[in-house]
Amino acid sequence: MRTEDMRTEDMRTEDMRTEDMRKEDIRTEDITAALTCLLRLQDVTKNRNGWRVLDHASVTVHENRIIGVVGDNGIGKSTLLKLMAGLLRPDGGQIIREEVPPSYILSGSHFYEWMTADDCAGFYRDFYPDFDRERALMLLEQSKIDRRTRLCRLSRGNQERLCMILGLCRKSRLYLFDEPFDGIDPYFKKDMKRFLLENMADNSSIVMATHLLKDLESLFDEVIFLADGRVWQMETEEIRMRHHKSVEQYYLEEIKHD
Ligand SMILES: Nc1ncnc2c1ncn2[C@@H]1O[C@H](COP(=O)(O)OP(=O)(O)OP(=O)(O)O)[C@@H](O)[C@H]1O
């Protein structure tokens, strides 16, 4: 979110938050054509575990963007991604998105260890009608991941790559990753970054929660920050040009950590 938008957001009064917007509401509509906007959270509030994780948060995801989601542990990054994915419903505000559902990329730990890559692809085929199994099998072969190997025998990096392949092979325009590169060595990370860029569909976008700013910030066009009870969105370019900082420096030096 740009500074002007943040100010406007702050200036909104309670009166303007209509009864409608307080209702649980996820709307889907074809908003893309006019605005090239894939998803919008408007004034979204979410309470979890007895505290308000998101408080009137507003963010927008346009097409052809890679957006980082950055904030301290437990601040609400996964919650934000799950709201975007439709896995959680907001307690207030609205989520407006395309009819095509987002692809929320599960991490390796969501599958049983005895499952093979083939089993995981079968799971995706059964659950997601938009899953392109042939493409997934082709990418697995390209990545030298044997379809018959059980997950427990795959390296951590290959487990994550498998999950990335499965998620990317859903016909979506919005791919949501929660810590996709966690625990992966620098060489493999570089390779997976390249793989991601090569295989993301045209006119799609990625939203990615991560703590690995040094490694990943070069990917980001924008960053969504969560801190101090607020959520705001900035262009990476703005952070570099206006604040003369990297995303990591901005995160460490400019935002409040409890
Ligand atoms: N399944 C759940 N049930 C109830 N409350 C939850 C659940 N998951 C998370 N929470 C609460 O929501 C808050 C935000 O959690 P979330 O996982 O979104 O944070 P995060 O920023 O992704 O954390 P991390 O960086 O450690 O992964 C947590 O502090 C926790 O109190």
From the CB of 74, is ligand 1 less than 6 Å away? yes
Tell me how far the alpha carbon of residue 69 lies from the centroid of ligand 1, in angstroms. Answer: 14
Tell me how far the alpha carbon of residue 198 lies from the centroid of ligand 1, in angstroms. Answer: 31
From the CB of 84, is ligand 1 less than 6 Å away? no
C-alpha–C-alpha distance, residues 205 and 220, integer Å: 11
Specify the residue with its C-alpha closest to ligand 1, atom 25. 73
Whether 200 has a pLDDT exceeding 70, the answer reads yes
Give the fold, CATH level 3, of 3-101+174-184+214-254: Rossmann fold (3.40.50)
Whether 116 has a pLDDT exceeding 90, the answer reads yes
C-alpha–C-alpha distance, residues 154 and 69, integer Å: 28
pLDDT digits (tens, 9 = 90+) for 221-251: 999 999 977 999 999 999 999 999 999 999 9
Whether 95 has a pLDDT exceeding 70, the answer reads yes
Q: What is the ipTM of this complex?
A: 0.96
From the CB of 76, is ligand 1 less than 6 Å away? yes
From the CB of 73, is ligand 1 less than 6 Å away? yes
pLDDT digits (tens, 9 = 90+) for 122-152: 999 999 999 999 999 999 998 899 999 999 9
